[in-house]
Amino acid sequence: MEIIGWVALVVALVSMAAWRLTYTAARLDRLHGRVEGTMSALDAQLVRRAEASLELVRSDALDPTSALVLGGAATSSLELADEEAVTSEVRVHGISPERGEVESALSEALEQILTPETIVDLRDRHAFGQEGLEIVYRAGQRVQLSRRFYNDAVRDVRRVRAKRFVRWFRLAGHTAMPESVEFNDFVPEIRQV
């Protein structure tokens, strides 16, 4: 093989490597963008669930003790959401551990308060009861889906970033490794009661 053949081979190999680097870097950038988008969606759904819970509390359909417990958990969730919104626009790292605990507390409050007996009572005796239950149920389902989408996006980023090629060439730059979000996202079943 002549020198021109070797030069053409080297140019082809360098071109392929450069293409692979740019393709992988662009893919990683898109995946990080997906993580940020799903984190924003999860944050919005958590706020909607807390607002739906507060609306149920304000409807006076619950007994005073249940309203106090659920209202306190929902208010804590909204306060922490506002606090996080002030400290950082979009957290790539997921939600803070404190917020995870508060969201779990709201889920536990919903689980304890919306028992099958309470659900039947709310449906039968209160005008806003059925509508309020539906709003809380749908908000809870959206939280579950949003958390699942976020964790799927995090898993995809971690899988790509674990590849040797990405680590050797530092294609992720200084971007922090996203972390999955784990908290109790129980949704009380209101439709079969």
Cβ atoms within 10 Å, residue 84 = 18
Average pLDDT of the chain is 91
pTM: 0.89
Q: Is residue 176 included in any domain, yes or no? A: no
Print the domain residue range for 80: 3-168
Q: Per residue in 150-162, pLDDT tens?
A: 999 999 999 999 9
What is the DSSP code (8-state) at residue 175? P
| DSSP string for residues in 113-161 | HS-HHHHHHHHHH-TTHHHHHHHHHHHHHHHHHHHHHHHHHHHHHHHHH
Is 92 within 8 Å of 35 (Cβ atoms)? yes
Query: What crossing angle do the helices spanning 129-161 and 116-125 adopt, rounded to 10°?
Result: 130
Q: Is residue 123 included in any domain, yes or no? A: yes
Q: Is residue 193 included in any domain, yes or no? A: no
Q: Is residue 86 included in any domain, yes or no? A: yes
Q: Is residue 16 included in any domain, yes or no? A: yes
How many structural domains comprise the chain?
1
Q: Per residue in 78-115, pLDDT tens?
A: 999 888 765 565 455 678 889 999 999 999 999 999 99
Q: Is residue 164 included in any domain, yes or no? A: yes
Q: Is residue 173 included in any domain, yes or no? A: no
Q: Binning pLDDT at 50, 70 and 90, where does residue 14 land? A: very high
Q: Is residue 147 included in any domain, yes or no? A: yes
